[in-house]
A = this chain, B = another copy of it.
């Protein structure tokens, strides 16, 4: 049984999808050991409590990034966390934080990275006029939206789309992609060759 941590700052719809998939067994041999928010009023904390999960508010307000990161890392260690899943965590992790958990921190981003990093990726993609949008689950490294890619899902952009309908269809794929990525990483059969996340037996 592996211990997942969820870091979030808001509602955390990806957290909800992960919780459902842990409960249904689609994420195998894992439990959510702790849900942490830097915002005490994050909706995701309330959801976590309703689900009977350990929910911690570790406020970042008025704290240096490194100080806050130390408090979060201490909580993650206390809960013997194997894999950390960012789910709308609106803080950039310090390099020190990232180095504590090599290949143990996942993030999801609503675009086919490296296209459209940063905020409002779906709106960026829509405005650019791409015909294929999507989402990316990737390891977190010291740079924003940059680490090795575990999974991507493509989402066609329709002529009838607006920013919202596109974002909704991307979100559906996020919910699927994140759980698949968690399973892949927990299986520990991967290697990262350069930037390529590949299964150990299949790489040429």
Chain A: residues with CB nearer than 8 A to chain B? 112-116, 126-132, 134, 136, 148-154, 159-162, 194-199, 202-204
Q: A112-B112, A162-B204 are in contact. Are A151 and B131 (CB under 8 A)?
A: yes
Residues of chain B contacted by A151 (CB below 8 angstroms): 131
Q: Which of A154, A194, A202 has the most CB of B within 10 A?
A: A154
Q: A114-B115, A115-B112, A194-B127 are in contact. Are A199 and B159 (CB under 8 A)?
A: yes
**18 A–B contacts, CB within 8 A, in A order:** A112-B112, A113-B115, A114-B128, A115-B115, A128-B149, A129-B148, A129-B149, A129-B194, A129-B195, A130-B149, A131-B149, A132-B152, A132-B153, A159-B198, A159-B199, A160-B202, A160-B203, A162-B204
